[in-house]
Amino acid sequence: MKSRLVPLSSSFAEVLQHHLKRRMEKEQIDALYRRASAWYAEEGMILEAVEAAMAGRCYEQAASLLDVQGLPMAQGYPHERFLTWIKQIPADVLIHHPQLEVWQAAALIMLGELQQLAEAFSVTIAAWRCRAGPT
């Protein structure tokens, strides 16, 4: 039997978040976000899964989700949201997901952000050079 998601009112959700922050350590809260992300992914709710992973600072999990679903997200979802996620993922995680950098470039092109595209390429090239080591 498939579980059903019941949306909470934003004010009730805020009260729960405030309560969690007062009573739990950051690591415990991050673990809850990780579990929520996994549940959302199992239910096919990729946007929510990425949001939960990002909220819990589970950047590898978020990158892996985006790696699998990135191109459809870059084409079918708000490009700004996709780019916000990519910018939040640390470079040491992002470098292991090179396809995300390609999709980042595609989203920037679709938005006409050519200056940001040039900056993103510079960062990508520098990261790849560091990863390759001295030549």
Q: What DSSP letter does each residue of 3-19 carry, written as one string?
A: ----PPPHHHHHHHHHH
Which one, of 35, 75, 69, lies nearest residue 55 by Cα? Answer: 35
In the prediction, which pLDDT does 13 show? 60
CATH of 10-132, one of 1.50.10, 1.10.287, 1.25.40, 3.30.1120: 1.25.40
Handedness of CA 88, 45, 71, 130 (dihedral sign): positive
Residue 60 DSSP one-character state:
H
Share of residues in the chain with pLDDT > 90 (%) = 25
Which residues 6+ apart lie within 8 Å of 65 measured at CB? Answer: 37, 41, 46, 49, 50, 53
- Tokens found for residue 68: 């699998």
In the prediction, which pLDDT does 49 show? 93
Confidence of residue 53 (pLDDT cuts 50, 70, 90): very high
Q: How many helices (H) and strands (E) does the chain have?
A: 8, 0
Domain ranges of the chain: 10-132
